[in-house]
Amino acid sequence: MENSNNNLFIEISKAADFFKSKDNFVILTHMNPDGDTLGSGFGLAMLLDRMGKKSTVICSDEIPQKYEYFTSLAPQNADFNKKTTVVAVDVADVKLLGRLEEKYAGSVELCIDHHFSNIGYAEATYLDSNAAANCECIYDLAKALGVEIDKDIALALYTGISTDTGCFRFSNTTAKTHRIGANLMEYGIDTAEINRIMFETKSRIRVELEKMALDAMEFHFDGKCAVITVTREMYEKTGCKDEDLEGITSISRSIEGVIVGVTLREREEGGFKISVRTYPPVDASAICKRVGGGGHIRAAGCQLGPEYNAKQAVAEMLMHVKAVMEEDFAGTVTDK
């Protein structure tokens, strides 16, 4: 299968051959890193280490402290004096490389991803859009490579799978997801502790910010759409950074009757980072695609530039939500 860029989509056995044939890797993760891109990156780094190969994981943004229990376990030993082989994990589009885009966008030799919206920017791509988390792909890669998974690798991969599935709750979760999760548990990892850190713990400043954001929440289209806008003022008043807001996108959709949740976060440099979460029949990626973004059917993202103020950005998104709802419901949707 080839995409419009004529870049190649490859089988996992070919991806395994690729890793066997090289020795010195740079592993790129996406900006605003989450558990899945980090679990994939550091999990892959550990697999490569067990094969006697060198690698370093890099990310545009600072890696949140809470992932240290596995990120600290991977040797970061790529030799930058020699030629490195650049791979990307869980990165659907070069735009998502953030500050690394300029340097690396044209040199990614292999991408391992699970987003069906992957634009095919790498020379070769292993894509499994049925995988709930990219860490499932890394797990399959370990099997294809014949590398024994160990407790440290299991910590990384389990974290990615658990976080991308909302702790095995989201509709992307498959029987295979559970099987892999169960298999990883058998390496003796403390899954209750991982899930406590990932899902049960919020900082005080995060709670302060949530109070403000909930207070300003809007409902549209007969209560089917909830919009949360996190303004710079909210960041400044609470002292929150972007890394403190992971998972905030799930709030809007958790409200009874809401099938489209839109969360806008105002960026420091102006403009908005927007996350859309939906329930059937609404396609989140279709909404985001209309403004140059993409993602999964129930979880997608896009951006609007600094020419938009908060009110205009919300209006712009509501227009696209309305259009996609009308397509998906095959009827007119009015704002009430």
Positions in the binding site for Mn ion (CB under 5 A): 36, 90, 134, 164
Beta strands in 95-211, from DSSP E residues, in sequence order? 110-113, 124-127
What token pair was written down for 22? Answer: 């090289």
What token pair was written down for 312? Answer: 């205009």
- Please say which residue, 170 or 219, places its beta carbon nearer to Mn ion: 170
User: Nearest residue by C-beta to Mn ion?
Assistant: 36
| CA 225 – CA 219 distance, rounded (Å) | 6
| CA 331 – CA 164 distance, rounded (Å) | 32
Please report which helix (H) or strand (E) contains residue 215, including its range: helix 204-215
Could you tell me the smallest distance in angstroms from the CB atom of residue 170 to Mn ion?
11
Could you tell me the smallest distance in angstroms from the CB atom of residue 130 to Mn ion?
13
Could you tell me the smallest distance in angstroms from the CB atom of residue 281 to Mn ion?
23
* Count of positions (residues) in the chain: 336
The closest of 257, 295, 289, 310 to 114, measured between CA atoms, is: 295
List of residues 6+ apart from 81 with CB closer than 8 A:
none
- Please say which residue, 100 or 137, places its beta carbon nearer to Mn ion: 137
- Please say which residue, 110 or 318, places its beta carbon nearer to Mn ion: 110
β-partners of residue 301 are 275, 294
Could you tell me the smallest distance in angstroms from the CB atom of residue 88 to Mn ion?
12
- Please say which residue, 7 or 40, places its beta carbon nearer to Mn ion: 40
| CA 36 – CA 38 distance, rounded (Å) | 5
Residue 173's CB is within 10 A of a number of other CB atoms, namely 18
Could you tell me the smallest distance in angstroms from the CB atom of residue 41 to Mn ion?
11
- Please say which residue, 199 or 219, places its beta carbon nearer to Mn ion: 199
- Please say which residue, 265 or 296, places its beta carbon nearer to Mn ion: 296
- Please say which residue, 36 or 210, places its beta carbon nearer to Mn ion: 36
Output the CA–CA distances (angstroms, integers) from residue 50 to 125, 153, 159, 269, 324, in the order listed. Answer: 23, 10, 20, 41, 47
Could you tell me the smallest distance in angstroms from the CB atom of residue 131 to Mn ion?
8
Could you tell me the smallest distance in angstroms from the CB atom of residue 164 to Mn ion?
5
